[in-house]
Structure 1
């Protein structure tokens, strides 16, 4: 097998490992998976992007959004970007599409939050959040994600191992210490249950007491 063929095989295996992780739990809770690559190169256009496009092609979720965080973080524009992609997914080709997109561009943050809640309360979604640099950035955006029991998934990509771990763990839990020696390894951090936010407030959260886990998606890509 040539080097190029082996690289493609490893890429396909990594993609399928990630897809299985995204789809592994049969319950309906909202869950998060944080991805960190040991050499700092996440390669979204390879493993993460391929897994995302595969799930989108096969319509494993009802709504999809691929978001690159812009700094300084603007919650209104962040939420607008997600809704723009959700609308494009679900309203494509309908007479409602252009009208709803125009309305969304003129809507203020409070109304966008209400529209986002309405939209995701009845639909499953997969969101990829690229380049989360700090846990403060994650804290700024995570409040929008309520657990409506639709089996939705959030993929967080980061160059910081601490951020990857903290994105999926209980805030009050002591941090796990893992030595990650393998170069060019893509690690996935995940929890059995993501945080639960009340459907009626964006200010309080009760987190799962389950421990954080980490798996190596691939160490040869």
Structure 2
């Protein structure tokens, strides 16, 4: 199907070059001359279109023969229902399973509880698979964070999001914390009303909000209005694979960019052995040492 799609694009380009650019000619004789000149090109294009139609028909026949129905409405809904966010598993990893997380965890907790009383944004930056979500979750769940802040919320943003839905989820998360009063009518509120409700709720509180997996550069510009700067030492953590997305430390002294580093080889090998060899000792068998080190090298320090 991908190959046929490329062929269709090529035929359209050919048509635009040989035929379509002459359609708007006002000189009748010149237009007719071009039409005659392009008869051969038209014939070749028509032949290619017929061949493409034949290929599409053959693809459909094979799909029906082997019961492939992923283009149907039913197939699409099935695919959506069976897709799972790969980051979910990283939210439930036990501390004992982690390797090399203590130094960055200590750094982030220090940024949370020390420093300015103004709202501070901490962006955890690193390529996909480096463990940004896992690190942020361990910091978010830590006893220090829980006792230091009046309320907190964890929000997964991702590449496609609806701002109103994101704000509603934030309100619901904050509502669950420490027996906060319920918010009425938020399902019918628009974006402006939701921002006002959030600002009102957070105005006298020291809060921590994690915005996980942010991709859009303009995201912080939109969502920052929901967080009142009440001079109480509130913190916002953003995780992103793209440093351009992170609010720049050059822009303000209250914006920190924390670049998460890949694991050194010894730590990466330790983690690999924990995952690959589930025996009590979790040691690599001697006959697999060379192969195991080769696999770890190929992973380049990514957990």
Q: Distance in 1 between matches of 2:98 and 2:164?
A: 39
Per mean C-alpha deviation after superposition, the further-off stretch among 6-15 and 79-88 is: 6-15
Aligned to 2:106: 16
Distance, in Å, in 2 between the alignment partners of 1:70 and 1:40 is: 12
Corresponding residue of 1:33: 122
User: Which has more strand, going by share of residues?
Assistant: 1
Q: Which has the higher helix share?
A: 2
SS at match of 1:59: helix
* Structure 2 partner of 1:131: 213
Moved more, 122-131 or 40-49: 40-49
Q: Is the CA contact 2:125–2:241 (under 8 Å) kept in the aligned structure 1?
A: yes
Distance 1:112 1:6 in 2: 39
Question: Which secondary structure does the structure 1 equivalent of 2:164 belong to?
Answer: helix
* Deviation sequence 1:138-160 (CA, Å, 0-9, x none): 22222322311121101111101
Partner of residue 50, structure 1: 138
Measure, in 2, the Cα distance between the counterparts of 1:7 and 1:113. 39
2:9 aligned partner: none
Q: What are the ranges of 5 or more consecutive residues in structure 2 without an aligned counterpart?
A: 1-94, 264-302
Matched residue count: 170
Structure number, greater radius of gyration: 2
Three-state SS of the structure 1 residue aligned to 2:185 is helix
Supply the RMSD in Å over aligned alpha carbons.
Answer: 2.8
List alignment gaps of at least 5 residues for structure 1: 171-190, 195-212
Q: Distance in 1 between matches of 2:110 and 2:232?
A: 18
Tell me if the contact between 1:42 and 1:158 (Cα under 8 Å) persists in the aligned partners.
no
Question: 1:111 is matched with which residue?
Answer: 193
How far off its partner does 1:135 sit? 1.2
Measured in 2, the distance between the counterparts of 1:21 and 1:160 equals: 21
